[in-house]
Amino acid sequence: MKIAITGGTAGIGLALAKLFEADNHEVISLSRRNGYNIRSLPKVAGMIEPCDMFINNAQVGYAQTELLFEVWRRWQGQQKYIVNISTQMTDMLLPPKEEWDEYIIQKKALELANQLLENRNPWPRLLLVRPGSIATQPGQAPPEYMDVDEYAQGVSNWIVKNI
Tens of pLDDT, residues 18-28: 999 999 999 99
CB 131 within 8 A of CB 87: yes
Q: What's phi and psi for 84, nearest 5 deg? A: -95, 125
Distance CA 152, CA 120 (A): 29
Does an H or E element contain 3, and which? strand 2-6
- Residues facing residue 129 across a β-bridge: 85
Q: What is the pLDDT of residue 160?
A: 87
Question: How many residues in the chain?
Answer: 163
Distance CA 66, CA 129 (A): 18
Q: What is the pLDDT of residue 16?
A: 96
In the chain, the percentage of residues whose pLDDT exceeds 70 is: 93
pLDDT values of the chain reduced to their tens digit, one per residue, 163 residues? 999 999 999 999 999 999 999 999 999 999 999 999 999 999 999 999 999 999 999 999 999 999 999 999 999 999 999 999 998 878 877 667 788 889 889 999 999 999 999 999 899 999 999 887 766 766 666 677 778 878 888 889 888 888 8
Q: What is the pLDDT of residue 31?
A: 95
